[in-house]
Chain A
Amino acid sequence: MPHDHDHEHTEPPSDIALRVKALETLLIDKGLVDPSALDEIIETYEHKVGPRNGAHVVARAWSDPKFKKQLMEDATAAVDSLGYSGRQGEHLQVVENTSALHNVVVCTLCSCYPWTVLGLPPAWYKSAPYRSRVVSEPRSVLAEFGTELAEEMSIRVWDSTSEMRYLVLPMRPEGTEDWTEEQLQQLVTRNSMIGVELAKSPNNLDATVEGKD
């Protein structure tokens, strides 16, 4: 049908958006995907899954030694017990920071990431410079995130795969001995669980909360 009336049409989306729309229609027509399942996946990843899942896991590990032991032995099961389970059948391993060893996570191959506990990865995690440099010069990459580690501290880089994802258990900040699990969660950032930063110190947190009041 010819279109003589420019004002009587809807502007089509970009070519790339049309390609996605085309695929979606084809896959729905072929009965391979269900439109409501697609909506549910998007809703979950946009609003329900995020780094606060991981913060919950870390804060629980800091305050419950039994949970921590379980987490270190079988992270997939421990995280599942908090209601966070993976959709891709991947295994999760938790790597613990100590005063002598700092852990950092990457996926050099593509962008495998512990979705169930951290949500979707930030853009820099998916970038080629991060993926190559954190392996060859982790100390300078960490410094760019403002994380200066003592010379004697070892750094271990964990390369994720489609079957194995890693979550860093940051060190519990000093001065939080009498904090509840809920309070501790606020100190745990996404970046501290990837390992490019440390958990927030209670002093930094106070400043943020006051600033927001």
Chain B
Amino acid sequence: MKKLPLQPFDDDGPVFNEPWEAQAFALVLALHEAEQFTWDEWARMLNEEIVRAQKNGDPDLGNTYYQHWLNALEKITLVKNISSNSEIHAKAEQWRHAYLSTPHGEPVELG
């Protein structure tokens, strides 16, 4: 008899569809472990974002879950005075510039 596989048979797809989803997921867990917010506070923030997205017409079929997750992450860092919208925006633009000024194939770093 062949060796039994450990994994139950399941046709589940990948856990994260894109790398940023995994990054956003990990940031929330890491901030929670650093005691920046309780898990209950996080769940409430995420729920508010989901409800808001639904009101704005998102059919909320599960494929936009990590977008809600990221919105909630930005909100909770705002509420907890960890970072501001302008700070996030400025840093994102710095990264965009770093990409645009780095020759293809070289590691992209913030100057």
Residues of A within 8 A of B (CB): 1, 3, 7-27, 30, 32-34, 37-39, 41-42, 45-46, 50-52, 55, 87-90, 109-112, 119-120, 122-130, 161-163, 182-183, 185-191, 200, 205, 208-209, 213
- Could you tell me if B34 and A110 are in contact, using CB atoms closer than 8 angstroms? no
- Per-residue 0/1 for B62-101: is the Cβ within 8 Å of any A Cβ (1 yes, 0 no)? 1101010010011001000011000111011011110111
The residue from B12, B77, B95, B102 contacting A190, defined by CB atoms under 8 A apart:
B12
- Could you tell me if A51 and B100 are in contact, using CB atoms closer than 8 angstroms? no
Residues of B within 8 A of A127 (CB): 60-62
CA A88 to CA B13, docked complex, whole Å: 25
The residue from A27, A42, A120, A124 contacting B83, defined by CB atoms under 8 A apart:
A27
Q: Which of A8, A22, A128 has the most CB of B within 10 A?
A: A22
- Could you tell me if A3 and B101 are in contact, using CB atoms closer than 8 angstroms? yes
For residue B60, which residue of chain A has the nearest CB?
A128
**B residues 10-27 touching A (CB-CB < 8 Å):** 10, 12-13, 15-16, 18-20, 22-27
- Could you tell me if A26 and B7 are in contact, using CB atoms closer than 8 angstroms? no
Chain B contributes a number of interface residues (CB within 8 A of A) equal to: 69
- Could you tell me if A190 and B10 are in contact, using CB atoms closer than 8 angstroms? yes
Given A9-B99, A10-B99: A38 in contact with B8 (beta carbons within 8 A): no
- Could you tell me if B70 and A161 are in contact, using CB atoms closer than 8 angstroms? no
- Could you tell me if B91 and A22 are in contact, using CB atoms closer than 8 angstroms? yes
Residues of A within 8 A of B105 (CB): 10
- Could you tell me if B26 and A38 are in contact, using CB atoms closer than 8 angstroms? yes
- Could you tell me if B74 and A32 are in contact, using CB atoms closer than 8 angstroms? no
CA A14 to CA B20, docked complex, whole Å: 10
- Could you tell me if A52 and B7 are in contact, using CB atoms closer than 8 angstroms? yes
**B residues 37-74 touching A (CB-CB < 8 Å):** 39-40, 42-44, 46-47, 50, 54, 59-63, 65, 67, 70, 73-74
CA A120 to CA B24, docked complex, whole Å: 14
CA A22 to CA B97, docked complex, whole Å: 12
CA A10 to CA B103, docked complex, whole Å: 6
Q: Which of A32, A46, A90, A208 has the most CB of B within 10 A?
A: A32
The residue from B6, B62, B67 contacting A185, defined by CB atoms under 8 A apart:
B6
- Could you tell me if B22 and A42 are in contact, using CB atoms closer than 8 angstroms? yes
CA A15 to CA B70, docked complex, whole Å: 12
Given A42-B26, A45-B25, A46-B16: A208 in contact with B99 (beta carbons within 8 A): no
Given A88-B39, A162-B42: A18 in contact with B96 (beta carbons within 8 A): yes
- Could you tell me if B88 and A19 are in contact, using CB atoms closer than 8 angstroms? yes
- Could you tell me if A32 and B54 are in contact, using CB atoms closer than 8 angstroms? no
How far, in Å, is A116 (CB) from chain B's closest CB?
12
